[in-house]
A and B are shown apart, each in its own frame.
Chain A
Amino acid sequence: MSVLVAISTDFLTAWSFWIGVGILAGIYGIFTLGLQLNVGFTGILNFGQAGFMAIGAYSAVILVVTVGVPFLLALPISMLITMAVGLLVGLPALRLRSDYLAIATIAFSEVVRIAIQNSDSLTGGNQGTISLELENERFFTDTWFTISDWISANIFDQIGLTDPDFLNLPLLAVIWLTLALIAFGLSRLVRSPWGRVLRAVREDEDAARALGKNVFAYKLQSLAIAAGLGAIAGWFLVLNLQSVNQAPFEPIFTFIGYVILILGGLASFAGVLVGTIVLWTLLEGLRFLDLPLDGGQIAALRFIIVGLVLILLVSFRPQGALGKQEEMVLSD
């Protein structure tokens, strides 16, 4: 990768690079919107979001490649599957106190990942889904490339963005459009009476129960919706990578979601958008640092700098970019 050694002014015009960063930011933005609904609005510590993303990604690929379901039909089905898994996980796990729920969900996500790694015939194992695609001579991304070419030809080529650098622009556009629509929908949803019950559950489950609210049902709904959003992030992840193995579903990616939450602020969906842009710009932009270090050292330095930013943030602005300070300090 020549970008790694580029001097610091080149990075501004490295279009394909920044489009790639935008795609990652968008995917993890969608992923984190689900976490925001759980953590920021319902008070449930879901640490299994990477597991839901894995189920969404793999079920969509398996449906298209192995089963032969049309791409656009496979997506909603895989989302329903992931939401059903969310309900199944929630039924026992949401009865636990919040810290135990965190442990249970992280365990769930690891079970999913390791199962994927070891069921070669179903998922391609460590080889990834490419082995399934070659075997079945059917590729998950085929339909998407048709759509992508159409968008390029009819929109981006028309405005002069014909350079190969802009090849991934349609994916970026579709991801951010999806992200914006979901963020808008969720903001509407949490301002409804339904969202008011969610916030009451976050504040005090017993008080909500005493007022006749079925707390458990609301927590289940919240988790299932987050799982569904994890599935959407999973599809885009596969479209971006073109084939997928278990590596992008390690628990660290759930933690990246939490970093985005903290950066952007709790209980704000717009904050997730800000958080994901800041995080990925920092993480990837720091690749352009021209330091006398080798690649591995620079990679480690990126995380050190992100860590420093987080520490400074929680010291000086604990509510994050768009969180409400009052909601952090007030308690019974």
Chain B
Amino acid sequence: MTEAATAATNGEAMLEVEGVFKQFGGIHAVRGASFDVKRGSITALIGPNGAGKTTLFNIVTGFYRPDSGRIVYDGKSIFGKRPHRIARLGMVRTFQITKALAAMPVIDNMMLAATDQPGEHLPSLLTRPLAGRKREAEVRERAMGLLGTFNLEAKADDYAGTLSGGQRKLLELARALMPAPRMVLLDEPMAGINPTLGRRLLEHMEELRQRDGVTFLFVEHDMDVVMNHSDEVVVMGQGETILVGTPAEIRADQRVIDAYLGGGAPDAAPTATEQRATESSPPAQEGTDVRR
């Protein structure tokens, strides 16, 4: 058992998000997100469409700069840090819309993700070409190994753009694992892949958590996956974290049901006047409310 896996047992936080706010113009995309992700856990982030899950992902990984709040990763603040800096700390993400680098071969997609490659920097590339080449051999071996794990080794020399949607998802996950990350954020990893591949993906997550102590935070809409494969669930609704708990606790909570059915977060319940206004408004207006 590795050190990280041991640490997982004592429930120490790998990621702490506290009071995070993000506004785009007049839209409050995230307005008060607070939760911890325990080290070595598989944590699900759920919520209806538009709840702010992807925005929160973008904030945590540095793609958006939050307006306020506190984000601590592995004991260090990563608030406002740029994406590549955060990635280098061992936090790697995938995207909701898969970003395979289409006009590059699959193997290049994988090798790109490697860390500590002196050949990636012009000064060391020109002064120590051998160091880069040596590292390149190691990187290729690791890449082929991971491609093998995801049954993609036969595709190594094909352009990533020729892969199917499901294969691209797997490639993106395999690529995210190349730098041996300590925390992986997956935005809807199951969307668009067949159940068999999906099951394998979940097995891999479980195995990586067990063996390497990797922490996972993932956005998912498939409730079976969330309930059966996560240790903890964070529920978001209308930009706020409504609840954090075990799958069993979440299932039983009325507020979660309300959020999904469009009743709004409890503290955002409409006042009597607003309610009257809603009732008298045309049906199209109500439809909008339900979707939220």
Which of A210, A326, A330 has most B Cβ within 10 Å? Answer: A210
Q: Chain A: which residue is nearest B97 at the CB level?
A: A332
The complex places the Cα of A209 from the Cα of B160 at a distance, in Å, of 18
Is A316 at the interface (CB under 8 A from chain B)?
Answer: no
A240 at the interface (CB under 8 A from B): no
Contact assessment for A331 and B161 in the assembled complex, using a CB-CB cutoff below 8 Å? yes
Find the B residue at minimum CB distance from A210: B93
B59 to chain A, nearest CB (A): 14
Write the nearest CB–CB distance from A185 to chain B, whole angstroms.
10
Tell me the bound Cα distance from A328 to B159 in angstroms: 12
Complex CA–CA separation, A330 to B97 (angstroms): 16
Whether, in the assembled complex, A157 has its beta carbon less than 8 Å from a beta carbon of chain B, the answer is no
In contact, B101 and A199 (Cβ under 8 angstroms): yes
Taken residue by residue from 198 to 212, chain A's Cβ proximity to chain B (1 for < 8 Å, 0 otherwise) reads as 011011101111111
Q: Which of B61, B101, B132 lies at the interface centre, i.e. has the most chain A CB atoms within 10 A of its CB?
A: B101
Evaluate contact between A194 and B83: CB separation under 8 angstroms. Answer: no
B92 partner residues in chain A, CB cutoff 8 A: 210-212
Contact of B103 among A194, A207, A210, A330 (CB under 8 A): A330
Question: Does the CB pair B112–A331 fall under 8 Å?
Answer: no
> Residue-by-residue, is A299-332 near B (CB-CB < 8 Å gives 1, otherwise 0)?
0000000000000000000000000001111111
Collect the chain B residues with CB atoms within 8 Å of residue A326's CB. Answer: 103, 159, 161-162
Contact (Cβ within 8 A) B84 A193? no
Asked if A118 CB lies within 8 Å of chain B CBs, one says no
Which residues of A from 197 to 232 have beta carbons under 8 Å from B?
A: 197, 199-200, 202-204, 206-215, 221
Contact among B99, B112, B159 for A197, CB-based, below 8 A: B112
List of A residues within 8 angstroms of B122 by Cβ: 194, 221
Q: Quick check: A211 and B125 within 8 Å, CB to CB? A: no
Chain B residues whose C-beta falls within 8 Å of the C-beta of A127 in the assembled complex: none
Tell me, yes or no, whether B111 is within 8 Å of chain A by CB. yes
- A223 CB to nearest chain B CB (Å): 13
Residues of A within 8 A of B84 (CB): 208-209, 211-215
Q: Mask for A16-33, Cβ within 8 A of B = 1, else 0?
A: 000000000000000000
Interface presence of A192 (CB below 8 A): yes
Q: Which residue of A lies closest to B111 (CB)?
A: A196
Q: Is B104 an interface residue (CB 8 A)?
A: yes
Asked if A330 and B115 sit within 8 Å, CB to CB, the answer is: no
The distance from the CB of B250 to the nearest CB of chain A, in whole angstroms, is 28
Name the CB-closest residue of B to A201. Answer: B101
A residues near B160, Cβ cutoff 8 Å: 330
B65 CB to closest chain A CB (Å) equals: 14
* Other-chain contact of A199, B95, B104, B113, B125 (Cβ < 8 Å): B104
Chain B residues contacting A215 (CB-CB under 8 Å) are 84
Given contacts A196-B104, A210-B94, 8 further A-B contacts (CB under 8 A): A194-B121, A196-B108, A206-B95, A209-B62, A211-B112, A213-B112, A214-B84, A330-B160
> Can you name 30 A-B pairs with beta carbons within 8 Å?
A189-B125, A192-B125, A192-B132, A193-B117, A193-B120, A193-B136, A194-B121, A194-B122, A194-B125, A196-B104, A199-B101, A199-B103, A200-B112, A202-B103, A204-B99, A208-B84, A209-B84, A209-B87, A210-B63, A210-B94, A211-B84, A211-B87, A212-B84, A327-B159, A328-B103, A330-B102, A331-B161, A332-B99, A332-B102, A332-B161
Closest 4 CB pairs between A and B?
A: A330-B161, A193-B119, A212-B87, A203-B101
